Amino acid sequence: MASKLKPGVQTGTDYIALVDACKAGGYALPAVNVVNTDSINAVLEAAAKAKSDIIIQLSGGGAQFYAGKGIKDAEKAKVLGGISAAEHVHRVAEAYGICAVLHTDHANRALIPWVDALIDAGEERFKATGRALFSSHMLDLSEESLEDNISECERILKRLAPIGMSLEIELGVTGGEEDGVGKDLDEIDNDKLYTQPDEVLTAYRRLSPLGHFSVAAAFGNVHGVYKPGNVKLRPEILKASQEAVSSAEGTGNHPLHFVFHGGSGSEKAKIKEAVSYGVFKMNIDTDTQFAFAERVGSYVEEHARAFKYQIDPETDKPYKKQYDPRAWLRKGEEGIIDRLIIACDDLGSTGRSLAL
């Protein structure tokens, strides 16, 4: 039985305990991309309803949107939005009674200054409160050489470890793009779509002495949702990497902490299999985006006149209650919540929250 944790944002040894509990318990947590307080609160509410712990994450574009499209300096907005969103979660997560993890998503070379600036803010917060801003950041240098990828990961992990933070790295390329980072499937060499066990071993040897890290491994997963048959998931790639590291390094079973990118639209059996090979985090964005949009769309269709007139010109009926943003934003939130309750079931995290 895993030990219990105080509800709210988890960092340092508490975050590591959460990752270990997932792997030992054979389940994984949804990691959901958010862009504003609506999506953050919906994710937290879903976790509370499912009694599951949860991962909240922001891409560079999501963080920029959080701060506002009106800020002219986009780089500055990414930093301010990232800090602001994380502080919002620190403020409210505990009240939902579950454990929350704060993460950033895909930072390629161009986004590394963003990550460094968030680490600066994390160091400041750690000094003041003993808790960093985020639980973990992600670097995605999978399109560069292995050496360039790993050496930059080393530099960042050396900054993260002293403030109780983890690093997610990417080896092999996840197809499709996530918020402007990545390439279409037909532009990627086929062998890059599947992570090579020897690359994972190199990463393990160089990063594990420095701190805690996780690996976004490519096993045919793709961002976005495509027609069935276009994506061939091969979770056995994850098993081969775990075995390569455990036999070469003499570690116990499943030394690697794997992240499943492009979880939207994946077959349930393949999700289960991937989790059984040490996946503790599955990213989901496309499906929650659609769940939000679909519910708002239905609401607008149903109340079409309220989105045209403040007072109906024929009946004199005032529509204030229908166009109040709380009415239709809530429908979108409910869409996210319902989709995530399914995700928690698929990943086996329902009812497994470690929160006291």
Active site amino acids: 105
Query: Looking at beta carbons only, is 53 or 178 nearer to Zn ion?
Result: 178
Q: Which two tokens stand for residue 28?
A: 């994984």
**Position 339 contacts Zn ion (CB under 5 A):** no
Question: In whole angstroms, how far apart are CA 200 and each of 138, 195, 205?
Answer: 16, 8, 9
Binding mask 242-261 for Zn ion (x = CB under 5 A): -------------------x
Query: Looking at beta carbons only, is 5 or 181 nearer to Zn ion?
Result: 181
Query: Looking at beta carbons only, is 178 or 199 nearer to Zn ion?
Result: 178
d(CA 18, CA 22): 6
- Partners of 29 in the β-ladder: 281
Q: Which amino acid is at 231?
A: V
Give residue number: closest CB to Zn ion.
261
Secondary structure percentages of the chain, helix, strand, coil, to 5 = 55, 15, 30
Query: Looking at beta carbons only, is 178 or 346 nearer to Zn ion?
Result: 178
Report, in Å, the least distance between residue 87 CB and Zn ion. Answer: 24
d(CA 66, CA 309): 29
Report, in Å, the least distance between residue 57 CB and Zn ion. Answer: 9
Q: Which two tokens stand for residue 293?
A: 């949009």
Report, in Å, the least distance between residue 170 CB and Zn ion. Answer: 8
Residue for token digits 């054979």? 26
Report, in Å, the least distance between residue 213 CB and Zn ion. Answer: 16
63 Cβ contact list (under 8 Å, min separation 6): 77, 78, 79, 81, 82, 85, 104, 114
Binding mask 259-298 for Zn ion (x = CB under 5 A): --x-------------------------------------
**Rg value, the chain, Cα:** 21
Report, in Å, the least distance between residue 301 CB and Zn ion. Answer: 32
Q: How far is CA 279 from the centre of its chain?
A: 13
Cβ atoms 137, 104 nearer than 8 A: yes
Query: Looking at beta carbons only, is 76 or 183 nearer to Zn ion?
Result: 183
Q: What CA dihedral angle connects 279, 263, 203 and 20, to 10 degrees?
A: -20
Report, in Å, the least distance between residue 33 CB and Zn ion. Answer: 9
Residue for token digits 């309220």? 306
Query: Looking at beta carbons only, is 174 or 353 nearer to Zn ion?
Result: 174
Residue list 160-219, contact with Zn ion (CB under 5 A): 178
d(CA 276, CA 201): 20
Q: What is the DSSP letter of 4?
A: P
Report, in Å, the least distance between residue 283 CB and Zn ion. Answer: 5
Query: Looking at beta carbons only, is 12 or 263 nearer to Zn ion?
Result: 263
Which residue in 212, 234, 57, 207 sits closest to 141, CA to CA? 207
Q: How many residues bind Zn ion (CB under 5 A)?
A: 2
Chain residues binding Zn ion by CB under 5 A are: 178, 261
